Amino acid sequence: MTGTHTAAGGVTRRTVVAAAGTAGLGAALVACGGGSSGSSSASGPADAGGSAPGSGSGSSGPSDKASGGDDVLSKTADIPEGGGKIFADRKVVVTQPKANEFKAFSAVCTHQGCTVASISDGLIKCPCHGSEYSIADGSVKGGPAPSPLPPEQIKVSGGSISLA
């Protein structure tokens, strides 16, 4: 009876020691990782906080949530007729070449992959080397771009434009 009791005590004790050792190791790893990632994450949130209020991401965020899962890009009213709007964070350009006719293209320039930056005179323009694409069909109208901007599928419903 006494022998059994002692053996059980031994097992328990060894288990406790092993657990303590593991916990100690875990704590050491956490402390180490926390220390190194602490410095990099310190700049991350600062960056995000700095850009969110001023940039377009602030406007697309709330509309995503309001739509309840639909990938809403914009309201149709926000896309100028005969022009368009660039959603750089989504890498999509939405245009309205004619009244109530909406089109979408990739915003990634086919030349060297810059994001197109402006729309004027019926053209989507890349700032890097001056490629220009038609807002009507994405075709190349100028510059070194080797091929048209690929079309993106969109859905227009209830005054909202979402990625299909």
Which residues here bind ligand FES, judged by CB under 6 A?
109, 111-114, 126, 128-131, 143-145
Helices (H), 52-122: 57-66
The amino acid that residue 60 corresponds to is S
DSSP code of 111? T
The amino acid that residue 153 corresponds to is Q
Q: How far is the CB of 85 from ligand FES (least distance, A)?
A: 18
Q: How far is the CB of 127 from ligand FES (least distance, A)?
A: 7
Task: Rank residues 128 and 156 by Cβ distance to ligand FES and give the closer one.
Answer: 128
Task: Rank residues 72 and 152 by Cβ distance to ligand FES and give the closer one.
Answer: 152
CB 39 within 8 A of CB 128: no
Q: How far is the CB of 107 from ligand FES (least distance, A)?
A: 11
Q: How far is the CB of 144 from ligand FES (least distance, A)?
A: 6
Residue 117: strand, helix, or coil: coil
CB 87 within 8 A of CB 122: no
Q: How far is the CB of 132 from ligand FES (least distance, A)?
A: 9
CB 72 within 8 A of CB 161: yes
Task: Rank residues 53 and 146 by Cβ distance to ligand FES and give the closer one.
Answer: 146
Task: Rank residues 72 and 109 by Cβ distance to ligand FES and give the closer one.
Answer: 109
CB 103 within 8 A of CB 118: no
